[in-house]
């Protein structure tokens, strides 16, 4: 963390290394052109103005770096960029300064709909998507007055984004959502308050796997304090969250209010900080202690298999070998010794959730046939129960099977079934909105069930006869801005008692007390189910839509079909 006092500004001389042009003490003025953007598909009906700054030294033969700023031209940015580029303290950068959208009034005596708060304050990927798919492609259709076409670097390390107030919220959120688009962020008097979820951003930053971002944060002690929150405290909370999570962050705390006066003073130095050592890549930090205890340095997600329709039911046998279902094609696959997916069951009856049992058989919910079946290693099958359409299941070390039945049509009740060792079945709970993923605590005393259409994973105590008691909405799962629920699906537990939950935000890792400590986004933003596998049980396999990924972790999965792991601590303690 670097602190930059307002009136004692630290400089970053020689920041860009040998690849930049020789410093020029006489900056040459770039040009600023104005345009209008209409016909948005991301924000239908909106129109907005935007300006493009083209530095004098820009040559189309080399795509330029990019800086995007919300709320139009501010901070005398073109003049600042002219000077910094001439001194070699900033690469040749094209600036794009964009206003928020507005929907023009459709009738006399009616007002325009102003989209600023909706676009800027929402914790949503939509604004980043608008920049990526609409505005920036439109920028590249323009040219300088002398005919030079605009070409922008697609390398996110060459891209920065910034803004003031709600525009700062939009900038940091766009980079956080899409680090493949932006890696450098400027935030002035940011509105990280209770407007559209901005007050939750700091918590999300603490819990989400760190991303390769460099951030500059500015605010003043006389900033707003109103029903939406305290801006001064919110920005300090944000800076502390970024520091805690391992981000490279600098800040400037002043005495001013909710305006651009102090921002204009520190803006040149903020740009020096953001672009220092360019083109060296901005790197992600190690994260909090929770991440460092979970993640292995250099071990990210790896693609295992692709070209499927919708993957579900990853399950691992005692050898650590993975089996999984492609539900629409009704096929069950297994990974062979070479790591390639080969067909295990040609027709699975729309196999969905599955798990191995203590007898070595693979138990599966054949959803298309309303059966629970078990497969031997040679693929021969036995019907275990029928008469209901199961979703996910878990097999206890004593042979009891628990199965979720969501209430697929939205009218039938959601159920949890218990199948005893002699094959008798009974409903042991109802009332969830959409019962889905299911798992056992490592000591097998508790049953966990995900309620997809809420933000809860329920905990039940298992009684001696296998029935359930003491139902509790126990694990509170985070939901994204784009949905009304967390979308909790598959569940897994590790030896430490942590619960891994497949959600819309990725893998949410909860401690035994029910609190989300870590979020691991998946490469394609999709996730239905997971399983720990590999010879050491330390590889997390993730079924992500049409793709299967894996990631090696510092922890090991707890296998429900093996003997319970003694619990030396109270569950939820």
The pLDDT tens digits for 226-248 are 999 999 999 999 999 999 999 99
Helix (H, G, I), strand (E, B) or coil at 292: helix
Choose among 176, 73, 160, 75: nearest CA to 127: 176
Cα separations in angstroms, 401 against 87, 355, 414, 564: 70, 10, 17, 15
Determine the pLDDT at residue 13: 35
Residue 11 pLDDT level (bands cut at 50, 70, 90): very low
22 pLDDT more than 60: no
Does residue 14 carry a pLDDT above 90?
A: no
What pLDDT digit, counting tens, does each position of 542-568 carry? 999 999 999 999 999 999 999 999 986
Q: Is the pLDDT of residue 24 over 60?
A: no
> Could you tell me if 556 and 538 are in contact, meaning their C-beta atoms sit under 8 angstroms apart?
yes
Tens-place pLDDT, residues 76-85 = 999 999 999 9
Mean of the pLDDT values across residues 143-162? Answer: 98
CA 194 to chain centre: 21
Q: Give the percent of the chain with pLDDT over 90.
A: 91
Q: What's the chain's average pLDDT?
A: 94
The 3 state secondary structure assigned to 461-494 is EECCCCCEEEEEEEEECCCCCCCCCCCCCCEEEE
Average pLDDT over residues 472-484: 95
Which residues is 459 bridged to in the sheet? 448, 472
pLDDT band at residue 411 using 50, 70 and 90 as cut-offs: confident
Q: Where are the domains positioned within the chain? A: 2-287, 290-552
Model confidence at 540: pLDDT above 50: yes
Cα angle 332, 333, 336; round to 5: 155
Bridge partners (DSSP) of residue 355 are 363
Give the helix, strand, coil percentages of the chain, each rounded to 5.
Answer: 15, 35, 50
Residue 4, pLDDT > 80, answer no
Q: What's the CATH class of domain 290-552?
A: mainly beta
Could you tell me the pTM of the whole model?
Answer: 0.92
Q: What is the pLDDT of residue 2?
A: 53
Would you say residue 170 has pLDDT above 90?
Answer: yes
Residue 477 Cα distances to 275, 432, 506, 570, angstroms = 37, 15, 11, 21
Contact 453/504 with Cβ under 8 angstroms?
A: no
| Alpha-carbon separation of residue 42 from 103, 132, 244 (angstroms) | 13, 11, 34
Whole-number Å distance between alpha carbons of 283 and 378: 48
User: How far are the Cα atoms of 67, 75, 95, 184, 517 from residue 158, in angstroms, in the given order?
Assistant: 9, 21, 12, 8, 32
In 10 A of CB 295, how many CB atoms? Answer: 21
Query: What span, in angstroms and rounded, lies between the C-alpha atoms of 145 and 269?
Result: 30
For residue 428, pLDDT over 50 is answered with: yes
Q: Is the pLDDT of residue 292 over 80?
A: yes
Topology classification of domain 2-287: Rossmann fold (3.40.50)
Q: What is the pLDDT of residue 27?
A: 77
Q: What is the pLDDT of residues 105-147, one digit of tens each?
A: 988 888 999 999 999 999 999 999 999 999 999 999 999 999 9
pLDDT at 15 (0 to 100): 40
> Once rounded to an integer, what is the mean pLDDT over residues 437-460?
98
What pLDDT is attached to residue 570? 57
**pLDDT of 528 above 50:** yes
H-run or E-run covering 40 = none
Q: Is-same-fold flag (2-287; 290-552)?
A: no
Neighbour-count burial for 538-569, b at 16+ CB within 10 Å, e otherwise: bbbbbbbbbbbbbbebebebbbbbeebbebee
Q: What distance, in Å, lies between the first and last C-alpha atoms of the chain? A: 34
């Amino acid at each position: 963390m670097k602190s930059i006092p307002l009136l004692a500004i630290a400089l970053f001389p020689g920041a860009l290394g040998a690849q930049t042009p020789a410093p020029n003490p006489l900056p040459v003025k770039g040009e600023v052109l104005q345009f209008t953007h209409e016909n948005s598909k991301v924000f239908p009906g909106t129109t907005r103005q935007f300006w493009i700054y083209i530095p004098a030294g820009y040559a189309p033969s080399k795509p330029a770096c990019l800086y995007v700023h919300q709320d139009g031209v501010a901070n005398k940015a073109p003049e600042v960029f002219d000077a910094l580029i001439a001194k070699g303290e900033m690469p040749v950068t094209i600036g794009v300064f964009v206003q928020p959208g507005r929907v023009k009034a459709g009738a006399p005596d009616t007002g325009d709909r102003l989209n600023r708060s909706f676009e800027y304050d929402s914790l949503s990927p939509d604004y980043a998507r608008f920049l990526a798919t609409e505005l920036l492609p439109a920028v590249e259709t323009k040219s300088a007055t002398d005919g030079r076409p605009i070409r922008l670097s697609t390398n996110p390390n060459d891209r920065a984004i910034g803004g003031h107030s709600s525009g700062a919220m939009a900038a940091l959120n766009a980079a956080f959502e899409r680090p493949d688009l932006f890696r450098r962020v400027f935030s002035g008097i940011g509105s990280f308050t209770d407007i559209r979820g901005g007050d939750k951003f700091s918590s999300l930053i603490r819990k989400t796997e760190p991303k390769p971002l460099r951030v500059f944060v500015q605010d003043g002690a006389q900033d707003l304090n109103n029903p939406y929150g305290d801006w001064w405290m919110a920005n300090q909370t944000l800076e502390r969250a970024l520091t805690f999570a391992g981000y490279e962050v600098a800040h400037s705390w002043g005495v001013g209010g909710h305006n651009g006066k102090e921002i204009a003073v520190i803006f040149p130095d903020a740009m020096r900080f953001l672009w220092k050592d360019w083109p060296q890549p901005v790197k992600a930090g190690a994260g909090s202690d929770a991440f460092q205890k979970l993640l292995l340095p250099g071990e990210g997600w790896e693609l295992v298999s692709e070209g499927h329709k919708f993957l579900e039911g990853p399950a691992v046998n005692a050898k650590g070998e993975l089996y999984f279902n492609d539900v629409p094609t009704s096929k069950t696959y297994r990974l062979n010794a070479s790591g390639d997916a080969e067909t295990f069951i040609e027709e699975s009856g729309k196999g969905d959730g599955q798990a191995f049992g203590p007898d070595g058989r693979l138990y599966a919910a054949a959803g298309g046939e309303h059966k629970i079946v078990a497969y031997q290693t040679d693929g021969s099958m036995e019907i275990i129960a029928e008469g209901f359409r199961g979703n996910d299941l878990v097999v206890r070390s004593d042979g009891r099977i628990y199965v979720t039945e969501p209430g697929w049509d939205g009218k039938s009740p959601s159920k949890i079934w218990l199948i005893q060792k002699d094959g008798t079945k009974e409903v042991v709970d109802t009332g969830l909105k959409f019962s889905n993923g299911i798992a056992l605590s490592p000591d097998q005393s508790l049953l966990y069930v995900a309620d997809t259409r809420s933000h809860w994973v329920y905990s039940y105590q298992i009684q001696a006869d296998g029935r359930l008691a003491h139902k509790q909405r126990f694990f509170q799962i985070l939901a994204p801005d784009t949905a009304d629920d967390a979308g909790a699906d598959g569940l897994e537990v590790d030896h430490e008692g942590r619960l891994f939950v497949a959600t819309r935000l990725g893998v949410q890792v909860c401690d035994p007390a029910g609190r989300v400590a870590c979020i691991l986004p998946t490469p394609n933003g999709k996730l239905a189910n997971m399983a720990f596998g590999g010879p050491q049980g330390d590889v997390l396999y993730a079924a992500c839509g049409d793709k299967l990924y894996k990631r090696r972790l510092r922890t090991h999965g707890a296998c429900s079909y093996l003997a319970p792991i003694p619990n030396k601590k109270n569950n939820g303690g």
